[in-house]
């Protein structure tokens, strides 16, 4: 099942619990072994796998034992600089990185074709 915004909280927790159980079994761990290594109670692992709400610190401990800490980094990546921080960096740090070429000065009202531009209603 794909997790998306249309699912209820209960459906998301149930799916996450099922995935946690499959990961644990895939690693060859019993609920008791996972609980012991994570420093939580076996009943807490049972609750998590059944789709019940658990504390975030419990989930972090379980992820650590299962080798999934990188998944948390992908779940919530570190935010980049704000536009104001970027602006300040460019004005106080390196400065501009590109510049437009110099334009040749031209006479007012002249165009590249040599004719002056008009509105079209002059006589």
CATH code at position 48: 1.10.260.40
56: in domain: yes
Is 38 buried (19+), middle (13-18) or exposed (0-12) by CB count in 10 A?
Answer: buried
Tell me the per-residue pLDDT of 39-74, one tens digit each, with 9 for 90 and over.
999 999 999 999 999 999 999 999 999 999 988 888
- The whole model's pTM is what? 0.63
Tell me the per-residue pLDDT of 80-91, one tens digit each, with 9 for 90 and over.
888 888 887 776
88: in domain: no
Q: Of 12, 27, 33, which Cα lies nearest the Cα of 75?
A: 12
Domain that holds residue 63: 9-75
Q: Per the structure, how many domains does the chain have?
A: 1
83: in domain: no
14: in domain: yes
Mean pLDDT rounded to a whole number for the chain: 84
């Amino acid at each position: 099942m794909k997790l998306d915004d249309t699912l209820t909280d209960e459906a998301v927790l149930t799916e996450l619990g099922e995935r946690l159980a499959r990961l644990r079994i895939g690693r060859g761990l019993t609920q008791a072994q996972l609980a012991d290594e994570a420093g939580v109670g076996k009943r807490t692992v049972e609750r998590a796998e059944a789709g019940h709400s658990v504390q975030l610190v419990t989930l972090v401990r379980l992820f650590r034992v299962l080798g999934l800490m990188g998944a948390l980094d992908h779940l919530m990546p570190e935010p980049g600089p704000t536009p104001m921080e970027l602006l300040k960096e460019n004005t106080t740090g390196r400065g501009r990185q590109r510049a437009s070429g110099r334009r040749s000065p031209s006479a007012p009202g002249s165009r590249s074709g040599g004719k002056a531009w008009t509105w079209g209603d002059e006589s």
